[in-house]
Amino acid sequence: MSDFAVGLISNIGMITFVALSAYLLLVSGSISFGQQAYFGLGAYAAGIATTLWDWPLALGLAFGALTGALGGGLVGALTRRLHGLYFAIATLAFAEMTRLALDLWRYQRPIGGELVGPDGPNGFAGIRRAFTDGWEPLSFMILIWVLLAGTMLVLILFERSRSGAALRGAGEDPVLARALGTDVARLRVNTAAAAGAIAGLGGGLYAHLNTYIEPRLFDVMLGVHALAYGIIGGLGTAFGPLIGVLIDIGILESSRLFQGWRMVVFGGLVALLLIWRPRGLLDEATVRRLRRLFTTPARHA
């Protein structure tokens, strides 16, 4: 496989983590513009753990996910009274605060004769743990996709469970869900923490693949893209965000078909798509239809 293809497929996988993170909140009825914060926190935490504290890669990634979960849970708890737009803007404010704070943060140590660690706006270079441990770009790509597949499997199983149904119910009608005995506030905090963990895991992978991160990478653009991917792909299934990422990065960016005009074309297409299908390509009705298509023959056999 060419380096270009490996890089592209790895990128699609990592961005899908942020998109899944935004999707999970969206399904629970919350719009977040701020999932890039947990992606960034996960990237910094995992990078610091493996580079400055010399932790093994697996622990570093877990630490990244945990940091994402703590950040998501904290914001979720602080904003549990907020709904709709208020929540969305609070997440955006927190994400921008995080990015600007990372711009000010310096935490460096000499390692192998040079200073390593977060250096404000100059970023954090030399996160080489994955490659000194013997990971190749190809094997790291496979690692990303195995973890992504695992995350999606958990999400899909969760969506089919009773708690998953409760989550979707709370998203569609919180008042009804409350009347049916769901603790909506707690559910929302837990969901925010889980979404933070997913983004944090993706961030840890991102830091170790790129070996260099800087605060600027985790700006609003990433967050709103993540949100948009879920809606373009469809709110019916956890495959939706992946499809959204595939359409944008996989087809439009990689093909360089509309070089220089990509955003003009992509933006127009998305706007038209949403007039036609306001809940994305794979919306709930389509998912039900597809599921029926695949389950009916089995029943006859």
Partner 1 sequence: MIVDIVQTLLNGLAAGAAYALLGVGFTMMFGVMRRLNLSYGATLMFGGYLGALLASRAGGALPDAALVLLAAAVTVAGATLAGLYVERLCFAPLRGRSGVAAMVSSFAVWMQIEEFSTWLLPLHTNPYPAPFNVASWQLGALTLRPEHLLTLLVAVLVAILLHRLLRASRFGLAVRTLSDSPAAAQAVGIDAGRTTLLAFLAASTVGGIGAWLVLVADQQVTPMFGMWSMAKGLIAMMLGGLGSIPGAVAGGLLLGVLEASGQALFGPQIRELIAWGALFLVLVLRPGGLFGRAAFDLDIAAHQRL
CA-to-CA distance for 280 and 238, rounded, in angstroms?
12
| Residue 285 lies near partner 1 (rule: CB under 8 A) | no
CA–CA separation, 64 vs 124, rounded Å?
15
Q: Is 101 an interacting residue with respect to partner 1 (CB under 8 A)?
A: yes
Give the footprint of partner 1 on residues 165-184 (CB under 8 A). Answer: 173-176
Minimum CB–partner distance for residue 83 and partner 1 (Å) = 7
Is residue 83 a contact point for partner 1 (CB under 8 A)?
Answer: yes
| CA–CA dist 157, 172 (Å, integer) | 20
Nearer CB in complex with partner 1: 118/174: 174
For 17, the enclosing helix (H) or strand (E) is: helix 3-27
Decide: is 278 part of the binding site for partner 1 (CB under 8 A): yes
Contact between 287 and partner 1 per CB under 8 A = no
Q: Are 151 and 205 in contact (CB under 8 A)?
A: no
**In the complex, what is the shortest distance from the CB of residue 24 to partner 1, in angstroms, rounded to a whole number?**
15
Residues touching partner 1: how many (CB under 8 A)?
48
CA dihedral 176, 181, 186, 192 (to 10 degrees): -50
The residue from 1, 58, 59, 100 that contacts partner 1 (CB under 8 A) is 100
Q: How far apart are CA 203 and CA 218, in angstroms?
A: 10
CB of 263 to partner 1, least distance (A): 4
Minimum CB distance to partner 1, residue 18 (Å): 15
**Binding status of residue 81 toward partner 1 by CB under 8 A:** yes
Q: Closer to partner 1 at the Cβ: 194 or 231?
A: 231
Q: Binding of partner 1 at residue 220 (CB under 8 A)?
A: yes
Per-residue b or e along 138-177, where b marks 16 or more CB atoms closer than 10 Å to that residue's CB: eebbbbbeebbeebbeebeebbeeeebebbbbbbeebeeb
Could you tell me the smallest distance in angstroms from the CB atom of residue 76 to partner 1? 12
> What are residue 125's DSSP bridge partners?
212
- Residues binding partner 1 (CB under 8 A): 26, 31, 78-79, 81-86, 88-90, 92-94, 96-97, 100-101, 103-104, 173-176, 220-221, 224, 227-228, 231-232, 260-264, 266-271, 274-275, 278-279
